[in-house]
A and B are shown apart, each in its own frame.
Chain A
Amino acid sequence: MLRLAAPACETDDMAEAAIVTSDLEEGHIPGYKAMWVGIYAELTEFALMFIVYFVARAHHPDTFSAGSQTLSTVAGTANTLIMLTSSFFVARAVWAIRANRLKQCERWLFAALLTGLGYPLVKFFEIRWNLTHGLDAHDGNIFHMTYYYLTYNHLVHVSWGLLAMMWMIVRVRTRAYSAEEHAGLVSFASYWHATDLIWLMIFPLFYVLR
């Protein structure tokens, strides 16, 4: 097992402790192999939807060019900031557990959960705003159809992730994970970051590009 001695001069939350980095050896598989099957399934599912997006964009460039102006950039940007920050908190939780700081790990996960819950909340207000502006999936606009299809699917993946995050908090709280054994937490973190990665692709395609 590898232990990384952190600099003694740092006052950082994980600097004082020796950090277990056996799950970071060259060529390692982060977390469980089975989770990577799930992550590849998720990435493939969205890759197919991205192909649909690009084909539709090639066929209807004017509709797509005008489409992003009909959406709320504020809502899209807010959800990007939420996903990035929640993902960052999860990454910090993983490093906290490597330093065997279970309480800190739990706090980072709570912060990630509270931030992540902002995503469905923003989505709720965004959809309400859309509907009051006459934007629905049946308005015959192909941009709106692909937007609803991709973003609703992403919302489903975020919802699963939030439920898994609650389970992670329970697992950390009940001392099921430690510095030596936390593959379940790394597996969840990989899924959450993959969901973040997908949103980073969705956001500019629908909310930024004119």
Chain B
Amino acid sequence: MTPARLLDIVWFLLIALTLGGALLGESADPGLWVTVTIALFMAFKGRMVIDHFMELNHANHKIRRLVRLYAIVIPLMLILTDLFGPHIARLTALPY
């Protein structure tokens, strides 16, 4: 497969996941599984952009790891906020 063809496939996947994610958000009842699915979409799409558009899959390991971590930590924070929202709120509340 040529690099161009691979980019075409990645772009198509990203577009399909974007439309699928938007449809899911519009049609599904809110719940943990919807949040987890959307977080997984975020992580996967982020990884696709990082590895194939930014071409970090063979780049300097420090740059690669830090940027890849970004697309893992933010979706993970979303799941944690849904799971432990009241605890996070207590931990981050200002003392009166």
Contact = CB atoms under 8 A, between A and B. Distances in A.
Interface of A: 6-7, 10, 12-15, 19, 24-30, 36, 40, 43, 47, 50-51, 54-55, 57-59, 61, 65, 68, 73, 76-77, 80-81, 84-85, 87-88, 90-92, 94-95, 189-190, 193-194, 196-197, 200-201, 203-205, 207-210
Interface in B34-78: 34-35, 38, 41-42, 45-46, 49-50, 52-56, 58-61, 63, 66-67, 70-71, 73-75, 77-78
Contacts of B92: 55, 58-59
A54 B77 contact: yes
A12 to B, nearest CB: 5
Contact of B59 (A30, A54, A77, A84): A30
28 contacts: A7-B2, A14-B3, A15-B2, A27-B59, A29-B59, A47-B73, A50-B74, A50-B77, A57-B81, A57-B85, A58-B89, A73-B22, A81-B18, A84-B11, A90-B53, A92-B4, A94-B55, A189-B54, A194-B54, A196-B49, A197-B71, A200-B42, A200-B49, A201-B70, A204-B41, A208-B21, A208-B22, A209-B35
A28 B59 contact: yes
B34 A210 contact: yes
A173 to B, nearest CB: 22
B86 to A, nearest CB: 7
Given A68-B25, A77-B22, A12 B7 contact: no
By size class, the interface of chain B is 35 or more
Contact of A58 (B7, B75, B88): B88
Interface SS, B side = helix
B53 A193 contact: yes
A120 B20 CA distance: 24
Nearest to A210: B30
A82 to B, nearest CB: 11
- Candidate in B56, B67, B93 with the most chain A CB atoms within 10 angstroms: B67
B49 A30 contact: no
Contact of A6 (B2, B77, B86): B2
